[in-house]
Amino acid sequence: MVRQPAVADQFYDGNPTRLHYELSKLIGPAREARPAKAIVAPHAGYMYSGAVAGAAYAQAEVPETVVILGPSHTGVGSPAAVMTSGAWSMPMGTVPISEDLAARIVELSDYLEDDALAHTYEHSLEVQIPFLQYRQSNLSIVPVCLKDLSFSVCKEIGSAIAEAVRRAGRPVLLVASTDMTHYESREQAEAKDRLAIDKILALDPQGLLETVRGHNISMCGVIPTTITLVASLALGASSVELIRYATSGDVTGDYRQVVGYASFIVE
């Protein structure tokens, strides 16, 4: 199966030349990148959150294999869906699934399922791929689409991903796709997002999930981020850096109802 782009010309430019140029502006000039266990990056339209995402992609090494974890906005498919075969057609070239790693991740988890349907129209993973392609021309991916899960399930999935990465015998980057607070005033969004950001910086996945739920923070990718933190810790992560935080109001000038965006590098 070859998945076709669902949000090209909506969230990002579908013309490969223009898209590459836009990414060059969002990521900036080449610099020495650092090894990372994971990146956390937003997934709104590039005009809104692309600079926040690009700041993290500019600083982290992107190996040939990347596991992308994103939330389900469509509600389609299984609660924890992995596309284990085929490829994703994208404007800047087709990206194959890393089939050996995808199969191993599913094999090691009681909750992850082989399900391509969940990925058909989901944008949260797709918008990360052009950034990854810009930084790594020989990219292969494992797409993981997630609905609302308990922390115990998040912990099991994160542990399975970490074990699969350990067995892979090659560098693997994890990418968690999330936006932060949705459609509150800038003051409210920044205050709520700070609570979640502090838990991410503390490498506290359970605390993150409990904080987001306890304070009604509309962080759509809290499950992917929680799982990514669990996996990163299992792989020896010891620090997280907040690379950039912004809101949609910084682009639109409307601060009455904003969406928050944050990017992090986990090392």
pLDDT at 31 (0 to 100): 82
Q: What is the pLDDT of residue 23?
A: 98
Tell the CATH superfamily of the 2-266 domain. LigB-like (3.40.830.10)
Handedness of CA 72, 77, 78, 82 (dihedral sign): negative
Q: How are beta strands 182-184 and 65-71 bridged, if at all?
A: unpaired
CA distances (Å), 228 to each of 26, 69, 131, 233, 257, in order?
24, 8, 19, 9, 29
Strands 80-82 and 140-146: antiparallel
3-class SS letters over 139-157:
CEEEEEEECCCCHHHHHHH
Strands 95-96 vs 87-88: parallel, antiparallel or unpaired:
antiparallel
Say which amino acid occupies 49.
Answer: S
Q: How far is CA 7 from CA 40, 197, 266, in A?
A: 20, 28, 28
Beta bridge partners of 259: 182
Judging by beta carbons within 10 Å of its beta carbon (0-12, 13-18, 19+), is residue 87 exposed, middle or buried?
Answer: middle
- Spell out the per-residue pLDDT of the chain, length 267, in tens: 999 999 999 999 999 999 999 999 999 987 889 999 999 999 999 999 999 999 999 999 999 999 999 999 999 999 999 999 999 999 999 999 999 999 999 999 999 999 999 999 999 999 999 999 999 999 999 999 999 999 999 999 999 999 999 999 999 999 999 999 999 999 999 999 999 999 999 999 999 999 999 999 999 999 999 999 999 999 999 999 999 999 999 999 999 999 999 999 999
Nearest to 26 by CA among 10, 50, 62: 50
